[in-house]
Amino acid sequence: MKTLFSFLLFFFIIAAKAQTPALQKLWVGDNKLYLKGDTGNVIFFQSLVEHVLDTKTHGKIKAIYSTQSGYYQLTGNKLYLSGQYFSPSGTVFLIDTSSKDKLILMPANTMAVSFMESVTSLKQEKYVFKEIHEVATDTIKAEKIIYKIKGGYPAVRTTIYELGMDGKLRMFKEKRQYRGALGMNTASLPESNDEYFTATVSKTLMKQLMDILKISEFDKLPEKGDRNIDVTDHIIELYYNNKVKYITAGWMPFVVQPLNAFLQTLSGKIKLLPSAEKFNIVMMNDANNLKFY
């Protein structure tokens, strides 16, 4: 009996560990629902469906998208979810990760049903997710991308660049400005001037970009995301398939985070050449006057 108990315990531990890496992928569900776990046993559910939130601070506001999270514990084929600590009597799902490309969640108690209702408008017996690369598309015919980083605290320096699909890049870095708190002395902080650069992005990097675009689900993305006055805004304007998609957020949705990371770090992977020519890079949409929470 002791040997059997030890075997079963070992089996469940191995099964749980096998499923944990699977949860750390990005999974795509129905109705713009996404699921992602991290290495700290926290799981995130994100819905890109607009809905109304009733908040104490601002009253009723339109939420561009919502993210719910919780600590999780895997035991066999059950996923236990809690707001702070693991609780067997909390939110319980049955989970199936037998396929490497598909994940199935089934609410196993009323708390799980209520939790999913708080995330998405769907009320289902089971939620089926596909691994992000399984929904990749080759229909994206990109023409160019304009990427803009603006904000931060206390230093505010806007960087904007335009990248064509031929690999030609133009970049403009605005003179640094400071947004100090009332009474804050910014006189001793470093100054900067407007700067202009050009560069050629390698074919290898351009291929990486195109591969990322295939899994970014642009047609599902909202144009506005979570913003905060103290957080840098990231703005992406993609010209593709004879249309323009404009996305701005302090925290990008899960599905576009790989693209944002690529664009944000691109300047460190290429040789920027100072340009004597002064040029202006204009986005079709101006995010300066957008107000949302």
Of the three residues 86, 102, 135, the one that is the final residue of a domain is 135
Domain enclosing residue 192, as ranges? 142-274
**282 within a domain of the structure (yes/no):** no
Kindly state whether residues 218 and 110 are assigned to the same domain.
no
194: CATH: 3.30.1560
Total number of domains constituting the chain: 2
> What's the chain's average pLDDT?
78
81-to-122, 177, 256 alpha-carbon distances in Å: 19, 45, 26
Cis peptide before 253 (omega within 30 of 0): no
Whether 286 is in a domain gets the answer no
Token couple for 90: 């909390």
Give the predicted TM-score (pTM) of the model: 0.77
Percent of the chain with pLDDT over 70: 70
Q: Given this model, what pLDDT does residue 87 score?
A: 57
CATH of the domain at 24: 2.40.128
95 shares its domain with 149: no
Q: How confident is residue 290, by pLDDT bands cut at 50, 70 and 90?
A: very low
Q: Answer yes or no: do 151 and 130 share one domain.
A: no
pLDDT of residue 264: 93
- Considering the domain architecture, whether residues 129 and 199 belong to the same structural domain is answered as no
For strands 51-55 and 59-63, give the pairing: antiparallel
Distances (CA, A) of 97 to 21, 171, 253: 10, 44, 24
| Range in 68-72, 131-135, 193-197, 220-224 with the lowest mean pLDDT | 220-224
